[in-house]
Chains A and B, each alone.
Chain A
Amino acid sequence: MIRELVDGFAVTWKKMFEKPVTVQYPEQMPVIPERYRGRIILTSDPSGEERCVACYLCSSSCPVDCITIQAAEREDGRRYPEAFRINFNRCIFCGLCAEACPTLALQMSQDFEMAETDGRRLIYEKDRLSVPHGGKYPDYSFWDEAGTAVTHALGYGKQDEPPSDPRSNLP
Chain B
Amino acid sequence: MPEITFDGRKLEVPAGTNLVEAGNRAGVPVPVFCYHKDLGAIGSCRVCAVTVTQQGKSKTVMGCMTEAADGMEVTTLDPASRSLREHVIESLMVNHPHDCPICDEGGECQLQDLTIAAEHGIRQTELKKRTFPNQFLGEFIQHEMNRCITCYRCQRFYQEYAGGRDFGVTGSRQRVYFGRFEDGPFESAFSGNLVEMCPTGVFTDKLFRYKSRVWDLEIAPSVCPHCSVGCNILPGARHRMLQRVRVRENAEVNGVFLCDRGQFGHGYVMDPARPRTLRVQGDVRDWAGAVALAGGTLLETAKKHGGESVALIASPRASLEAHFALRQLADGPLAGAHVSHFDDPSREARALAAYAALQSAGADPLEQSDIAHCDVLVIAGSSLVDEAPLAALAARQCERRGGRVFVLSALERYLNDVATVIPTHPAKLAGALQSLATGAGDGALGAAAKALATAQRPGVLAGHDLVDGAALDAAAALVKQLKAAGKAVRFGAVFPGPNGHGAAALSHGATLADMLARLESGAFQAAVVVESETSSWSPRARQALEQLPLLVVLDHLPGPLVDRAKAFFPTTVTYESNGTYVNRAGRMQEFAAVRLPGRSAIEEIHDHEFRRTYQPMPTDGDAHDAWWVLEALREHAAAQPARGLVALRSALAEAVPAMQPIRALRPGDPGAYVDRTAAAPATRVTASFAADAGLQLFRIDRTLGSETLSKRSEAIRKTAGAPVALFSAADAAKLGLDGRASLEAEGARVEVAARIDASVPEGVVLVPRDVDWPIVPAQGAGVRASALQAEEVSR
Contact = CB atoms under 8 A, between A and B. Distances in A.
Answer whether A and B are interacting partners: yes
Interface of A: 53-57, 59-60, 70-73, 79, 82-83, 85, 102-103, 120, 123, 142, 145-148, 154-155, 159-171
Contact of B102 (A55, A83, A160): A55
Contact of B171 (A85, A123, A169): A169
B484 interface: no
Interface stretch (B48-56, B210-218, B529-537): B210-218
Interface in B198-227: 209-213, 215-216
Q: Closest 5 CB pairs between A and B?
A: A147-B97, A166-B177, A55-B101, A155-B131, A56-B213
B130 A102 contact: no
A123 B612 contact: yes
Contacts of B640: none
Contacts of B134: 154
Contacts of B170: 166-167
A60 B215 contact: yes
Nearest to A52: B101
A85 to B, nearest CB: 8
Interface in B142-196: 144-146, 170-173, 175, 177, 179
A159 B98 contact: yes
A56 B216 CA distance: 9
Tell me which of B102, B212, B601, B610 has the highest count of chain A C-beta atoms within 10 A of its own C-beta.
B102
B128 to A, nearest CB: 4
Contacts of B177: 166
B62 to A, nearest CB: 26
Interface string B350-392: 0000000000000000000000000000000000000000000
Main secondary structure on chain A at its contact with chain B? loop
Given A53-B101, A166-B132, 18 more contacts: A53-B102, A55-B100, A60-B216, A70-B602, A73-B209, A146-B102, A147-B97, A147-B98, A148-B97, A148-B99, A155-B131, A159-B129, A160-B128, A161-B128, A161-B131, A166-B171, A167-B171, A169-B171
A79 B106 CA distance: 14
B784 to A, nearest CB: 49
B216 to A, nearest CB: 6
A54 B104 CA distance: 11
A155 B284 CA distance: 63
A71 B209 CA distance: 9
A83 B128 CA distance: 35
Contacts, number: 99
B210 A147 contact: no
Contacts of B605: 70, 82-83
A21 to B, nearest CB: 41
A155 to B, nearest CB: 4
* B-side interface size class: 35 or more
A146 B99 contact: yes
Contacts of A166: 132-133, 145, 170-171, 175, 177, 179
A79 B98 contact: no
A82 B212 CA distance: 12
Contact of A73 (B132, B210, B213): B210
Contacts of B130: 161, 164
Nearest to A77: B102
A70 B216 CA distance: 12
Nearest to B135: A166
Interface string B575-600: 00000000000000000000000000
Contacts of A154: 131, 133-134
Contact of B129 (A55, A60, A79, A161): A161
Tell me which of B134, B145, B146 has the highest count of chain A C-beta atoms within 10 A of its own C-beta.
B146
B239 interface: yes
A148 B602 CA distance: 26
Interface in B269-306: none
A169 B172 CA distance: 6
A154 B636 CA distance: 66
A9 B132 CA distance: 77
A151 to B, nearest CB: 13
B612 A164 contact: no
Contacts of B128: 159-161
A115 B247 CA distance: 49
28 contacts: A54-B210, A55-B106, A56-B212, A59-B216, A70-B239, A70-B605, A71-B210, A72-B210, A79-B102, A83-B605, A102-B100, A142-B101, A147-B97, A147-B99, A148-B97, A154-B133, A159-B128, A160-B129, A161-B128, A163-B131, A163-B132, A164-B130, A164-B131, A164-B171, A166-B145, A166-B175, A167-B171, A168-B171
A58 to B, nearest CB: 11
Nearest to B209: A73
Contact of A145 (B98, B239, B602): B98
A54 B102 CA distance: 8
A53 B106 CA distance: 13
Nearest to B177: A166
B615 to A, nearest CB: 15
B101 A60 contact: no
A73 B97 CA distance: 19
Nearest to B216: A56
Interface string B86-104: 0000000000011111100
Nearest to A145: B98
Nearest to A142: B101
A165 B173 CA distance: 12
B503 to A, nearest CB: 40
B147 to A, nearest CB: 9
Contacts of A146: 97-99, 101-102
A162 B129 CA distance: 9
Contacts of A155: 131
Contacts of A164: 130-132, 171, 175
Contacts of B601: 70
A171 B171 CA distance: 10
Given A70-B605, A146-B98, A164-B175, A120 B612 contact: yes
Contacts of B102: 53, 55, 79, 146, 148
A147 B94 CA distance: 12
B133 A163 contact: yes
Contacts of A60: 213, 215-216
Contacts of B99: 146-148
Contacts of B131: 147, 154-155, 160-164
A123 to B, nearest CB: 6
B557 to A, nearest CB: 27
A82 B603 CA distance: 12
Nearest to B99: A146
Nearest to B169: A166
A59 to B, nearest CB: 8
Nearest to A103: B101
B107 to A, nearest CB: 9
Nearest to B178: A166
